[in-house]
Every structure is written in structure tokens, then in C-alpha cells.
Amino acid sequence: MSVAELLGVSKDQAYEVAELGYRLLLQGKSAEAITIFEGLLVLNPEDSYLQNLLDNARNYDQEKPQNNSGT
């Protein structure tokens, strides 16, 4: 039994939150998106869709240009 099942969080509800994380990622807010996806994986650790979202968000975060202001 997953934490989501114990708390009564349905897969549909988790995916609605994942959609919010995806929208944040599209807005360039990858740190916030990663936090959401990590939290969802605590609830549903076996969910490959959520794991894929987290992996993609982490890759996006690593590939975006770093701000080197002040150098």
C-alpha cells in the first residue's frame, strides 16, 4: 500500500498536481517543479510517469543557462 492510498489521494488527484508542476517547469520554475514531483513520488514511489516527470525536470534544470552576473 502506498502513502497515497493511506492518505486517500487518488491517481487523478496526484496527476492534477503533477500538471501544476509541469506548468511551473514551462515557466522556468524548475526548482518548484522538482519539489512537486519529488513530493508526488513520496506518495506514489512506483509511479513511472511521475518518475519520468522528475527526471525530465532535473535534466531541464541542469541544461538551462546559469546566471553568471557579478563576475
Confidence of residue 63 (pLDDT cuts 50, 70, 90): confident
DSSP characters over the chain: --HHHHHT--HHHHHHHHHHHHHHHHTT-HHHHHHHHHHHHHH-TT-HHHHHHHHHHHHHHHHSPP--TT-
Kindly list the domain boundaries of the chain, sorted by start residue.
3-61
Residue 69 has pLDDT above 60, yes or no: no
pLDDT in tens, 1-43: 889 989 999 999 999 999 999 999 999 999 999 999 999 999 9
* CA pair distance 13, 59, nearest whole angstrom: 25
